[in-house]
Amino acid sequence: MTASVLFDAQGPRAKRRNVLYTVVFLAALAAVVWWLYVSLDEKHQLDWVKWEPFFTSFQPWETYLWPGLLNTLKAAFFALLIALPLGALFGIGRLSDHRAVRVPSGILVEFFRAIPVLILMITANAAYSEFTDIASDVRPLYAVVTGLVLYNASVLAEIVRAGILSLPQGQTDAAKAIGMRKGQTMRYVLLPQSVTAMLPAIVSQIVVILKDTALGGAILTFPELLASVRPMSANYGANTIACFTIIALVYIAVNFALTSFASWLEARLRRGKKSTGAVVGTAPGAASKSSRLPRPSPRARPTPDGPSMIRPRGAPAHLPCPPPRVSVT
Partner 1 sequence: MFDFLEGYDLLGAFWVTVKLTVYSALGSLLWGTLLAGMRVGPVPLMRGFGTAYVNIVRNIPLTVIIVFSSLGLFQTLQVTLGGGDDFEVINFRLAVLSLALYTAAFVCEALRSGINTVPTGQAEAARALGLSFTQVLRLVILPQAFRSVVNPLANVLIALTKNTTVAAAIGVAEAAFLMKDMIEAEAQLILISAIFAFGFICLTLPTGLLLGWVSKKVAVKR
Partner 2 sequence: MQLRKVTAASAAVLALALTATACGSGDKEGESGSGGGEKITIGIKIDQPGLGLKTPDGKFTGFDVDVATYVAKELGFDAGNINFVETKSADRETAIERGDVKFIAATYSINDERLQKVDFAGPYLLAHQDVLVRADDDSIKSPQDLNDKKLCSVTGSTSAKNVKEKLAPKAQLQNYGGYSECLTGLENKAIDALTTDDSILAGYAAQDAHKGKFKLAGFKMTNENYGIGLKKGDADLKKKIDAALTKMVSDGAWDKAVTDNFGPANYKNEPAPKIGNIVK
Identify residue 314 by its one-letter amino acid code.
Answer: G
Helices (H), 9-135: 12-42, 48-56, 59-60, 66-94, 99-114, 117-131
Sign of CA dihedral 284, 289, 293, 299: negative
Residue ranges in 101-130 that form contacts with partner 1 under rule CB under 8 A: 110-111, 113-119, 122-123, 126-127, 130
Determine which residue in the list 118, 195, 317, 326 makes contact with partner 2, applying CB under 8 A.
Answer: 195
Separation of alpha carbons 222 and 144, rounded Å: 8
Q: Which does 268 bind (CB under 5 to 8 A by kind): partner 2, partner 1, none?
A: partner 2
Q: Contacts with partner 1: how many residues (CB under 8 A)? A: 79
Nearer to partner 1, 34 or 111 (CB): 111
Q: Which does 197 bind (CB under 5 to 8 A by kind): partner 2, partner 1, none?
A: none
55 binds partner 2 (CB under 8 A): no
Separation of alpha carbons 110 and 151, rounded Å: 10
At closest approach, how far in Å is the CB of 179 from partner 1?
Answer: 34
Identify residue 76 by its one-letter amino acid code.
Answer: A
Contacts 24+ apart (CB under 8 A), 112-116: 112/150, 112/151, 112/153, 112/154, 113/151, 113/154, 113/155, 113/158, 113/284, 115/151
- Give yes or no for a contact between 276 and 167, defined as CB atoms under 8 angstroms apart: yes
Nearer to partner 1, 267 or 310 (CB): 310
Determine which residue in the list 1, 11, 44, 299 makes contact with partner 2, applying CB under 8 A.
Answer: 44
174 binds partner 2 (CB under 8 A): no
Nearer to partner 2, 109 or 210 (CB): 210
Residue ranges in 266-285 that form contacts with partner 1 under rule CB under 8 A: 281-285
Nearer to partner 2, 151 or 236 (CB): 236
- Give yes or no for a contact between 65 and 225, defined as CB atoms under 8 angstroms apart: yes
Determine which residue in the list 95, 202, 209, 226 makes contact with partner 1, applying CB under 8 A.
Answer: 226
At closest approach, how far in Å is the CB of 98 from partner 2?
Answer: 26
Q: How many CB atoms lie under 10 A from the CB of residue 156?
A: 30
Residue ranges in 130-149 that form contacts with partner 2 under rule CB under 8 A: 136-137, 139
Contacts 24+ apart (CB under 8 A), 293-300: 295/165, 295/169, 296/165, 297/169, 298/168, 298/169, 298/170
Residue ranges in 230-269 that form contacts with partner 1 under rule CB under 8 A: 240-241, 244, 247-248, 251-252, 255-256, 259
- Mask of contacts with partner 2, 231-260, x by CB under 8 A? x-xxxxxxxxx-x-----------------
First to last CA, the chain: 33
211 binds partner 1 (CB under 8 A): yes
Helices (H), 178-316: 182-184, 191-219, 229-235, 240-270, 283-292
Separation of alpha carbons 169 and 142, rounded Å: 41
Residue ranges that bind partner 2, judged by CB under 8 A: 43-44, 49-50, 53, 57, 59-60, 62-64, 67, 70-71, 73-74, 77, 81, 129, 136-137, 139, 191-193, 195-196, 218, 221, 223, 229-231, 233-241, 243, 265, 268-269, 273
